[in-house]
Amino acid sequence: MADKIPVLKERKNFVATRNACKVCSPLGGSIAYKGVRGCVPVIHGGQGCATYIRRYLISHYKEPVDIASSNFSEESTIFGGEANLSAAIHNVIAQYKPEVVGVCTTCLSETIGDDIGQALRNYKAANADDPSVPEFVYSSTPSYQGSHMDGFHETVAAITKTFATKVEMNEKVNIFPGFISTEDLRMLKDILEDFGIDYIMVPDYSETLDNPVWDTYHRIPDGGTPVEELKMMGGAKASIEFGPILNKGNLVGRIKNKNLAHTGAEYLEKEFGVKKFTMNVPVGITQSDELFQLLSDISGNEIPKKYSMERGRLIDAYADGHKYVFGKKAVVYGEEDLVIAMTGFLDEIGVEVILAASGGNSGKLKEEIERCAPTHGKSIEVMGDLDYEKINELCIDMKPDLLVGNSKGYYIARELNIPIIRVGFPIHDRMGGSRLKHVAYKGAQELFDKIGNAMMEYKQEHSEVGYKYI
């Protein structure tokens, strides 16, 4: 009989990270690039970075995820990686005929000081008469800074800064949904369309990372926001961004010019005067109401009946199921913006969040949690910069009734013999991670049913007689 995975009895803080509750920056950057039409991400670093990130994403999305690497060698590490980057771009163009190449840096290329902007300009100049040369965009995503979320939002900002230009005012609305599931993106697009809003979504990987089956291999999956649309962002009438944290936190040890805009929406507001609305990721009724009201205000249209019906049914479900979830103690973990939104939702259904934990370290998590969780906000233990082993040890002491977070926390729930509600990213041990619903009334409906049913199942399975009715 195998031993259990060792858990320490002593409780102390370690210099080392034990089972990280985050992944690295270029992973987030690559996902953001997947949301641009015809874009192939290139990770400028060692071959492993691209392959590991692909593997991690493939296990979640169950989709081919092609990310190229400039495949650093010892020579490029010493003499600079420009030649490798050029070769990589050349071969990506030959194989994929991309509309856009999106370059993410790595710890390696950042440390040796490669100037990506210059390298890309050089490539363009050297291939000036080649019509197949695509648009370029690059973002600074060294893995020693922040987490995958910083990489994601840095890249969203880079895409915005690269393509948005001064254009005439238009009727479009920019939407920066943050890192949510492909199903969430699709629901969001339906909502925007039902409001009659002409939107520009950055990024939109709803199709590129969640395709139907193919008869032939698509070198670049369909979908994504086209560059022509991205160029219109500067003339939009408003920008909506989900998430109070985004990449605005203190990036561990990072020297950042505080005067520079941080997010795509901030940049558009500062440069082109596009009004910015920032809100939580709309999970649960309170946070979704804010979105629907905002969309109604921006579009000048009433909230479509379809959604008031969804909302009504959701409240009806809350009434039917409230007792089963009330007072249950939950530990929530994952990316900061997700943790905030999820805590807001759990607070509104009567679940008591006892620990809100993230591997992110913005320094803003506590104030945001207090803001979004009026019932328990003040008593929630809020901790950033945590790893799973720390969460595990805290759980042993806190004795939660359920975990809410990605699949990496499964081993903790297994030892505690409590349910885990899988949300967010990654979902590596189940299918359907990309189809998980979190946002708007439909997302809340799915989450509420899952949590209620998990509590009922737990009770039923631990009951002496079992029962057929609730």
Partner 1 sequence: MSKYIKDRTSQIVTIGEDQHDLACEKKSVAGSVSQRACVFCGSRVVLYPIADALHLVHGPIGCAAYTWDIRGAMSSGPQLHRLSFSTDLHEKDVVFGGEKKLYSALTELIESYKPEAVFIYSTCIVGVIGDDVEAVARQLTKETGVEVLPVMSEGFKGTKKDGYKAACDALMNLVGTNDDYVPPKYSINILGDFNLAGELWILAEYYKKIGVEIIACLTGDGRVEQVRRCHKASLNVVQCSGSMMHVAKEMKDKYDIPFKKVSYFGIEDMSDALYEVATHFNDPELMAKARALVSEEIAELIPALQPYREKLEGKKAAIYVGGAFKAISLVKALRLLGMQTVVVGSQTGNKDDYKLLQKICDKGTVIVDDSNPNELSDFVKQTGADLFIGGVKERPIAYKLGLGFCDHNHERKEALAGFVGMLNFAKEVYASVCSPVWKFIDKK
- Residues 377-396 binding partner 1 (CB under 8 A) are 389
The stretches of 201-359 forming alpha helices (DSSP H) are 227-230, 264-272, 284-299, 305-325, 336-348
- Positions of E strands within 112-269: 135-139, 173-176, 199-201, 238-242
Q: Is the peptide bond before 221 cis (omega within 30 degrees of 0)?
A: no
Is residue 18 involved in binding partner 1 (CB under 8 A)?
Answer: yes
- C-alpha to C-alpha distance for 202 and 373, rounded to whole angstroms: 28
**What are the tokens at 326?**
């009330």
- C-beta of residue 177 within 8 angstroms of C-beta of residue 184: yes
Is residue 362 involved in binding partner 1 (CB under 8 A)?
Answer: no
- C-alpha to C-alpha distance for 175 and 86, rounded to whole angstroms: 33
**What are the tokens at 436?**
């998980």
Q: Toward partner 1, which CB reaches closer, 19 or 296? A: 19
Q: Toward partner 1, which CB reaches closer, 23 or 331? A: 23
Shortest distance, position 54 Cβ to partner 1, whole Å: 6
- C-alpha to C-alpha distance for 366 and 381, rounded to whole angstroms: 9
Q: Which of residues 304-333 bind partner 1 (CB under 8 A)?
A: none
Length of the chain: 470
Angle at 407 between CA 406 and CA 408, to 5 degrees: 95
Interface segment toward partner 1; rule CB under 8 A; list 2-10, 121-129, 167-175, 289-297: 2-10
Q: Which of residues 189-248 bind partner 1 (CB under 8 A)?
A: 211, 213-217, 219
Is residue 168 involved in binding partner 1 (CB under 8 A)?
Answer: no
- C-alpha to C-alpha distance for 11 and 397, rounded to whole angstroms: 10
Q: Which of residues 59-118 bind partner 1 (CB under 8 A)?
A: 59, 62-74, 76-77, 84-85, 87-92, 94-96, 106-108, 111-112
Shortest distance, position 62 Cβ to partner 1, whole Å: 6
- 36 pairs with which residues across the strands? 225
Q: Toward partner 1, which CB reaches closer, 354 or 395? A: 395
The answer for residues whose C-beta is within 8 angstroms of residue 332's C-beta and 6 or more apart is: 339, 342, 343, 346, 353, 355, 356, 357, 403, 404, 405
Interface segment toward partner 1; rule CB under 8 A; list 22-30, 117-125, 158-166, 197-205: 22-30
Shortest distance, position 111 Cβ to partner 1, whole Å: 5
Q: Which of residues 123-142 bind partner 1 (CB under 8 A)?
A: 142
> What mask of x and - would describe binding to partner 1 in positions 241 to 280, judged by CB under 8 A?
----------xxxxx-------------------------
Q: Toward partner 1, which CB reaches closer, 369 or 403? A: 403
- Count the residues of the shown chain that bind partner 1, applying the rule CB under 8 A: 87
Shortest distance, position 40 Cβ to partner 1, whole Å: 9
Which helix (H) or strand (E) segment holds residue 194: the answer is helix 182-194
The answer for residues whose C-beta is within 8 angstroms of residue 192's C-beta and 6 or more apart is: 173, 175, 199, 295
Is residue 4 involved in binding partner 1 (CB under 8 A)?
Answer: yes
Is residue 19 involved in binding partner 1 (CB under 8 A)?
Answer: yes
Shortest distance, position 414 Cβ to partner 1, whole Å: 12
Q: Toward partner 1, which CB reaches closer, 189 or 262? A: 262
Shortest distance, position 398 Cβ to partner 1, whole Å: 21
> Residue 67: exposed, middle, or buried by beta-carbon count in 10 A (0-12, 13-18, 19+)?
buried
Q: Toward partner 1, which CB reaches closer, 90 or 262? A: 90
> What mask of x and - would describe binding to partner 1 in positions 407 to 446, judged by CB under 8 A?
-x--x-----------------------------------
Which of 37, 54, 311, 438 is the binder for partner 1 (CB under 8 A)? 54
